[in-house]
Amino acid sequence: MALLLSALFMLAPVCGASAQSVNDSYGIWATFEASKKINKKFKVVGDVELRTTNFVKDIERATIGAKVEYKAFKWLKTNVGYSFMYTQKPETKSFKDPVEDEEGNVFHEYNIDHAYWTIRNRVYVTLSGEYKVGRFEFGLRERLQYTRTNSATTDETKYRYNLGEDPLFSIDDNEWVITTEPEIKETKHNLTLRSRLNVKYDIPNCKVNPFASVELYTRLDEWKGCEKLRYRIGGSYKINKKNSISLYYLYQQVNDDDEPGGHAIGLEYSIDL
């Protein structure tokens, strides 16, 4: 365990150096989780989640899921689960090769893909272990997940600067030619390994327990190294034996177009039935 924790701490800054923030914004993540013990070893968990982005203006994702958890030992457990996600892909702009007119003015042509909604189906298997040192509790979670993103249709608007080649315009009447056409986004498949290192601290005579974590995303079907980094820091409050609530701050660096990067405030409510 000590070797694995040390390795993750060493990998995090290396991975972070190559990750790039995309659409660096902030949002709110709200989660409700309910669990029911079947026996001492098995537990069933259901959850719903809503995420916002673009400075809380847009809904980024709505999720409903379930998993079955098995506690092999006091310090080791595993689970298998499924999540159904309805996600919104935000508007994106991509620049084309610049063009130059006769006077030497340079114009950057570009395309805009309009926002659209799509469905994702995800299945996963998780193995997690915990190790206590005094009042600290260290945890390492490895999750292998497969995600299928359904195809969708959106509009693509192309901005092309007219240089007089079109007979409707002359050289002296240069202007943007704008066309909008439907575009089909093909089905995507994603196999990812998520490695999360977390630490908790048990404050004496206090119901609030602080925690922090760093999570690495590694794409396996198309090797790209570390594709995403997620940092989280917050605290959990145990209301009673069956209810608890957590509040955290999250920052996500991304190197893909799966979801926007940036900042989020998260709120989780958990209940044992």
- Taking Cα atoms as reference points, which of 26, 30, 32 lies closest to residue 57? 26
Residues counted in the chain: 273
Distance CA 75, CA 184 (A): 47
Q: How far apart are CA 197 and CA 5, in angstroms?
A: 7
**Reported confidence tier of residue 234, pLDDT bands at 50, 70, 90:** very high
Q: What mean pLDDT value characterizes the chain?
A: 86
pLDDT at 171: 44
pLDDT at site 255: 65
Indicate the domain borders of the chain: 2-88+125-149+187-272
The residue whose two tokens read 């608007």 is 157
Residue 151 phi/psi, 5-degree rounding, is: -70, 155
pLDDT of 169 > 80? The answer is: no
pLDDT at 272 over 70: yes
Tokens standing for 234?
A: 């917050």
- Cα 92 to the chain's mean position, in Å? 17
Alpha-carbon gap, residue 95 to 119, rounded angstroms: 27
Tell whether the model's pLDDT for residue 21 goes beyond 60.
Answer: no
- What average pLDDT score do residues 207-217 get? 94
More confident residue, 140 or 56: 140
Please determine, for residue 78, whether its predicted confidence score (pLDDT) is greater than 70: yes
Mean pLDDT of 214-229: 86
What is 2-88+125-149+187-272's CATH number, 3.30.460.80, 3.40.50.720, 2.40.160.40, 1.10.10.10?
Answer: 2.40.160.40
